[in-house]
């Protein structure tokens, strides 16, 4: 997993910080609260930059090194921001045997960034995900909330082109 420090600067707001702080307080001294807190923080900020990890460490008393250890251990947590359009290509077994690997390669080539990273303009990020449990639709990709299934390379190309055009217009 490439987890290089991002070039995109931290743009957290006071409101976001308040929401996080309130949530941490609401957890009280619940054993095992770090995971739900990190999940909430990622929901608020979209990712877990150092600035956010420091807030969590200071409020919970868990050392920052340990917070970082947890945040970097689980695949769901991301230390880098995600693009405006988050492309996820499922590489579960069912999708893989039906050619998802080639679809991923094609999309990376079209968008111009590697799996696990974000384009410099912050518009697109690509992830190779593990099974999303929609094996009946294999191969599957998702872009933000939209699910596209039963794909071949040509259809995937067509879908991505649509988003690229949309991004260009804005």
State which residue, 147 or 167, has the beta carbon closest to another protein: 147
What's the rounded Cα separation, in Å, for the pair 100 and 151? 9
Which residues, including other chains, have CB under 8 Å from residue 159's CB and lie 6 or more apart? 141, 143, 148, 151
Using the rule CB under 8 A, which residue among 108, 132, 159, 164 binds another protein? 132
What's the rounded Cα separation, in Å, for the pair 85 and 164? 10
What's the rounded Cα separation, in Å, for the pair 132 and 144? 14
State which residue, 1 or 4, has the beta carbon closest to another protein: 1
Q: Mark 94-123 with x for binding to another protein (rule: CB under 8 A) and - for no binding.
A: x-xxx-------------------------
Site for another protein in 1-60 (CB under 8 A): 1, 31-36, 38-39
100 contacts 91 by C-beta, under 8 angstroms:
yes
59 contacts 24 by C-beta, under 8 angstroms:
yes
Using the rule CB under 8 A, which residue among 44, 55, 108, 137 binds another protein? 137
Residue 144 interacts with another protein (CB under 8 A): yes or no: no
- Applying CB under 8 A, the residues found at the interface with another protein are 1, 31-36, 38-39, 66, 69-70, 73-77, 91-94, 96-98, 129-138, 140, 147, 149
């Amino acid at each position: 997993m490439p987890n290089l420090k991002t070039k995109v600067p931290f743009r957290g707001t006071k409101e976001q910080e308040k929401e996080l702080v309130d949530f941490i307080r609401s957890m009280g001294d619940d054993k095992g609260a770090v995971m739900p807190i990190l999940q909430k923080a990622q929901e608020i900020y979209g990712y877990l930059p150092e600035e956010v990890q420091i807030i969590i460490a200071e409020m919970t008393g868990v050392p920052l090194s340990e917070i970082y250890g947890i945040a970097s251990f689980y695949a769901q947590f991301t230390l880098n921001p995600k693009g405006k359009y988050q492309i996820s290509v499922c590489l579960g077994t069912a999708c893989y045997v039906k050619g998802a690997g080639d679809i991923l390669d094609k999309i990376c080539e079209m968008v111009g960034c590697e799996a696990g990273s974000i384009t410099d303009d912050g518009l697109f990020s690509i992830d190779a995900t593990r099974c999303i449990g929609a094996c009946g639709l294999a191969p599957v990709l998702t872009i933000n909330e939209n699910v596209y299934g039963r794909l071949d390379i040509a259809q995937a190309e067509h879908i991505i082109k649509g988003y690229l055009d949309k991004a260009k217009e804005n």
